[in-house]
Structure 1
Amino acid sequence: MHRRAIGAAAFAAALLTGCATGGDKAKPVRINQDPFPSTYQRYPGAPTLIRGVTILDGEGGRIESGEIVLVDGKVQAVGTGLSAPSGAVVIDGTGKYVTAGIIDVHSHLGDYPSPSVEAHQDGNEATGPARPEVWAEHSVWPQDPGFSRALTNGGVTALQILPGSANLFGGRSVTVKNVPARTVQAMKFPGAPYGLKMACGENPKRVYGSKNQAPATRMGNIAVTRQTWINAQKYKREWDAYEEDGGEMPDRDLAMDTLRGVLAGDILVHNHCYRADEMAVMIDLSKEAGYKIGTFHHAVESYKVADLLARESICSAMWADWYGFKMEAYDAVRENIPLVHQAGACAIVHSDDPNGIQRLNQEAAKAMAAGRRMGANIPEEVAWTWLSANPAKALGIFEQTGSLKPGKNADVVLWNGNPFSNYSRPERVWIDGALMYDANNPRLRPVSDFELGQPGEGDVK
């Protein structure tokens, strides 16, 4: 009895001790989810009044003989009969156009920069079909001359840089302001959400099937994608529980960190997908996994499922007329963009090309003309939403940019003629109210070190 009493007392004491100490879980450690923050600082700009111009405001509005005032990096006013702020630069734009800056949602500038040599090929981490752990920004070379050409030739004020499409999960994208900078952090658009590049169709199955590994078929694409999301769901459950209750920290996984961010709604999905049937499959897959597709890219068959895309609030980033370069691109039509627009879905003109990004205004013009030929008389001011407001919405930056509304960033292009004409070019470009390009001022023609001395570029004296 004596031994039993001692044993019982010892057990009770141990139990009480455990309740007092071992029962308290360690508090969760906060993980830095954005260790590479933007260091962007806007360039200085002068108060500016542009008068006598046709204004396409980016949201479908049009003002003839209009005026726009830029102050402290923002659009202060848009309309007619406006007064110039004290000390303002006044520009007579009679006969010219002002638009919201063009935003390209699909670019590889910096990741596949010029000169196009093997040492610069940094857009595809083609070492496994699922590589969500890589970030496009860690390949971006700010000296890529493509940036300045997009600004001066194309009026592009912001762009999303994506990994390539070799993988089912290509990694994170980054949205940047098209400004000269020494580092990618100094180009990063403050507050812009990250994106996740996904792909379906021919590219992943060709790349990995040729290596005798999965996926080698379209059904393999979906199987690997589904299993990856199942793994991500488990990872999210573990980390959600840890962050709520504490205890032992789960193992970190950079790939799963990205996918957890998607499942939480913090990272936007940009899905390379050509065929209509595959878009429908990916929509079903996204519902199974618990995330939302934001934008299908290339999407040459969006016209076949435009009603579905409108119902699901999914954007399509499309070319005006690229097609036929592989089987999944064969059933394209020139009316794709206007058909998607007419269905009430979100239509975007994108480039995916260092030359195309310099002529996105012309690409939109081709799509608008194709729509008119089929009987859809889409006005110029509405077609400009394909280049500014809709891309801004797809990138999660519409509150800051994408249209010429008071209080928004002064990302503005003054064109020397109608921007839908092949003969028109940007005359001046402002980013956050700072004049970044002036065709009439050689000191305001930004060029890369790799273009100095080239005909028409840089100082050749």
Structure 2
Amino acid sequence: MIDRRLRGVSLAAMACAVMALGACATTGTGKPAGSAAAETTPKPRVLATGLDASANPDPFPSTYRPLPSQNMAIVGATVFDGAGRKIENGVVVVSDGKVQAVGGADTPVPAGYQVVDARGRYVTPGVIDVHSHLGVYPSPGVTGMSDGNEATSPNTAQVWAEHSVWPQDPGFNTARAGGVTTLGILPGSANLFGGRGVTLRNVPAISVQQMKFPGAPHLLKMACGENPSRVYGGRNQSPATGMGNVAGYRAGFIAARDYKAKWDKWRDTGNGEPPTRNLQLETLVGVLDGSILVQNHCYRADEMALMLDVAKEFDFRIRTFHHAIEAYKLAPRLAREGVCAAMWSGWWGFKMEALDAIEGNAALVDAPEGSCAVIHSDDPELTQRLNQEAAVSLAAGREAGLNIPEERAIGWFTLNAARAIGIDRETGSLEAGKRADVVIWSANPLSVYARADQVFIDGAKAFDRFDPAYQPTSDFELGQPGFGLAAAGVNEGAR
């Protein structure tokens, strides 16, 4: 069933579902016009038939359409722009779903724009959670809907998390109430190669395509450490050890490199039948050519160093280490190689590889020039308070002598998070031309007392703590009859 109370938002989502059009596959003929091969040996016209993945790299295209928005100016707030600026008595001007201007009190407000009075409050970009399993491990948490881990082989790079996403997971609603506007949805970590992840806009929808962030790169979930060796070693199957893990990664990329060479040769010559498609190897080839971004579950510093060497051997990049509890131990190398680290501040000790944690991890990772520290959740409750998780690490870093300003720490769950999943050109900061993903907070977002008052996605209001029409409830929030986010005394952002 569809959320009942997010009236304008839900109706708009349904309208989008009715009107959305599928994308058409592109076609091509292989060699450039005028080349000898093109003139004498024409390439078979098979690209549109599904024989060549390059014909349609995303056969499940986004049908996302922004919710109805209004041109507006948010005035009077303390603005953290996500890119390192703090503006007192700031103004954020939004036009056609994009940020038009951000500045001080003298920033002009165009005639006819709605003026949102945010005096005494704070404004940030929308929160981005780069590690979420909402929709693939939804609520209610029953076996029949536990769709996040294809734990059938150490290499399941062929599966896509978006094919498991249930858009009606009520966790999307509660995340939105915590300021989350964009999420990286990943498969689980039972495997060396867990499958593709997908980036979603946090809007009500009927299909996952209606939530899919247009143009966002695919993600590949990889896992090192205890998870794959525990899952498969217990079945008397490789990998059973850390060395088995690394051998498995190398074998996967050796096969992918060979597969890529066969396709490159066929595309170059157009001779004979094309190679047989292999969905698993297609994903790994996407990593090799840079179109798919590696999101690597990895706790220990020594294992991160090994993974960086594997990436160097096969000439690909690891975009982000996740759950990187020991990232502080190799922060300079991560910064030097342009690798983000997505972390918690307080989760530790639940297995051996998670023992050597410190609350100031993100702060220490943030210290070197060129760093990319990110706060993530991996949890449907923690995603509602990533701002508080960042505040804990900021405080620990300051206690250790790191003078990190608040406006920099805001980037840990906004711009750096966008960079970690390859969408920083479109969102993550309040800069002219970017998507108007905006949160108005009741207090400083790095305070435990702060709550998201209003949340805008592409300039459209998607949550309002003071308006029941923008406080969705779900039939799947079981055991909570009549429970609404506007209930007196309830902290919507921390449920």
TM range (shorter): over 0.9
Superposed, which structure 2 residues align to 1:39-58 within 5 Å?
39-58=63-82
Q: TM-score, normalised by structure 1?
A: 0.93
Superposed, which structure 2 residues align to 1:312-351 within 5 Å?
312-344=337-369, 345-351=371-377
CA contact (8 A) 1:215 1:224 kept: yes
In structure 1, the residue matched to 2:153 is 128
CA contact (8 A) 1:28 1:249 kept: no
1:352 pairs, out of 375, 378, 386, with 378
AA aligned opposite 1:64: E
Q: Distance in 1 between matches of 2:461 and 2:128?
A: 17
Q: Distance in 1 between matches of 2:438 and 2:45?
A: 45
Q: What CA deviation, in whole Å up to 9, does each residue of 1:292-327 have, x standing for no partner?
A: 100000010011111111111100000012100000
In structure 1, the residue matched to 2:327 is 302
Matched residue SS, 1:185: helix
Q: Distance in 2 between matches of 1:226 and 1:25?
A: 36
In structure 1, the residue matched to 2:144 is 119
Considering only aligned residues, what root-mean-square deviation do their CA atoms show, in Å?
Answer: 1.6
Matched residue SS, 2:387: helix
AA aligned opposite 1:113: P
CA contact (8 A) 2:465 2:485 kept: no
Superposed, which structure 2 residues align to 1:202-351 within 5 Å?
202-247=226-271, 248-344=273-369, 345-351=371-377
Q: Distance in 2 between matches of 1:455 and 1:165?
A: 36
- Counting matched residue pairs gives 438
Any runs of at least 4 consecutive aligned residues in structure 1 with deviations exceeding 4 A, and if so which? none
1:97 pairs, out of 107, 116, 122, with 122
Q: Distance in 2 between matches of 1:45 and 1:96?
A: 22
Task: For residue 243 of structure 1, report the CA deviation from its aligned partner.
Answer: 1.6
Q: Distance in 2 between matches of 1:343 and 1:82?
A: 34
Task: For residue 272 of structure 1, report the CA deviation from its aligned partner.
Answer: 0.4
1:106 pairs, out of 127, 131, 138, with 131
CA contact (8 A) 2:363 2:397 kept: yes
Task: For residue 70 of structure 1, report the CA deviation from its aligned partner.
Answer: 1.1
1:432 pairs, out of 455, 458, 471, with 458
Q: Distance in 2 between matches of 1:378 and 1:454?
A: 44
Q: What CA deviation, in whole Å up to 9, does each residue of 1:330-353 have, x standing for no partner?
A: 011111111100123210000000
Q: What CA deviation, in whole Å up to 9, does each residue of 1:21-53 have, x standing for no partner?
A: xx8364363232210000000011111111110
2:190 pairs, out of 160, 166, 173, with 166
In structure 2, the residue matched to 1:27 is 44
In structure 1, the residue matched to 2:30 is none
Residue 384, structure 1, aligned to residue 410, structure 2: yes
CA contact (8 A) 1:28 1:242 kept: no
CA contact (8 A) 1:27 1:245 kept: no
Q: Distance in 2 between matches of 1:174 and 1:234?
A: 26
AA aligned opposite 2:114: V
1:86 pairs, out of 111, 114, 118, with 111
Highest Rg: 1 or 2?
Answer: 1
* Structure 2: gaps (5+ residues): 1-39, 48-54, 488-495
Q: What CA deviation, in whole Å up to 9, does each residue of 1:219-259 have, x standing for no partner?
A: 00111111111000000001111122212200100001111
In structure 1, the residue matched to 2:52 is none
AA aligned opposite 2:450: S
Q: TM-score, normalised by structure 2?
A: 0.86
Change (3 A) 1:454 1:379: farther
In structure 1, the residue matched to 2:484 is 457
CA contact (8 A) 2:455 2:463 kept: yes
Task: For residue 421 of structure 1, report the CA deviation from its aligned partner.
Answer: 1.1
Q: Distance in 2 between matches of 1:317 and 1:334?
A: 13
1:61 pairs, out of 69, 75, 85, with 85
In structure 2, the residue matched to 1:157 is 181
Q: Distance in 1 between matches of 2:280 and 2:326?
A: 30
Residue 178, structure 1, aligned to residue 202, structure 2: yes
CA contact (8 A) 2:135 2:165 kept: yes
CA contact (8 A) 2:62 2:212 kept: yes
AA aligned opposite 1:241: K
Q: What CA deviation, in whole Å up to 9, does each residue of 1:180-226 have, x standing for no partner?
A: 01000000000100000000000000000011100000000111111
Task: For residue 158 of structure 1, report the CA deviation from its aligned partner.
Answer: 0.2
Task: For residue 410 of structure 1, report the CA deviation from its aligned partner.
Answer: 0.3
Q: Distance in 2 between matches of 1:333 and 1:295?
A: 19
AA aligned opposite 2:440: L
* Structure 1: gaps (5+ residues): 1-22
In structure 2, the residue matched to 1:13 is none
